[in-house]
Amino acid sequence: MPQSVTHFDPREDKRNVRSYRRENSFWKEIALIDLDKGISAAEARFYGAGSVVYCVLWVRGYDYQRDPARGCGKAGGYGYHKPSAALEEAMQHAGIQLAEDIGGRGDDAMQDALRALAAHLGIVRPMIHGAHA
């Protein structure tokens, strides 16, 4: 069954995003692009080297002007896919509830989550773009 967003209550994470952004250790970004509007609807940036991965997520909202959402998350330890766990926490703190957990499930699960977000936002022609530092 494809991933879906069960609830989206756009909010700004009250935690200090600066404590999650580590520009010296930026290594990856995945973005949801709305090809019809030619804009980035959401970006997830990943930071950290070693045992902890940090994620900061920005979502522009339904009309890309109002209702912005922002969340941050982190995952530590070993033996699982930490970026997907960090993204899952960031989505939860941004007010996005997915039908299925993506934590520890890999890059494909992260892309499925962004496609589900695109469907929820009404984006007809989404593109997932990845960039590495």
Residue at token pair 């929820």: 120
Q: Which amino acid is at 106?
A: G
Residue written as tokens 């922002």? Answer: 70
Per-residue confidence band for 60, with pLDDT thresholds at 50, 70 and 90 = confident
The confidence band for 61, taking pLDDT boundaries of 50, 70 and 90, is low
Output DSSP code: residue 24: G
HSE (CB half, 13 Å, CA atoms) of 50?
3
Q: Identify the sign of the CA torsion 3, 89, 123, 120.
A: positive
Amino acid letter for position 122? G
pLDDT of residue 1: 45
Average of per-residue pLDDT across 3-22: 66
Q: Is the predicted pLDDT of residue 104 greater than 90, yes or no?
A: yes
pLDDT for position 130: 93
* Cα–Cα dist 27/76, whole Å: 16
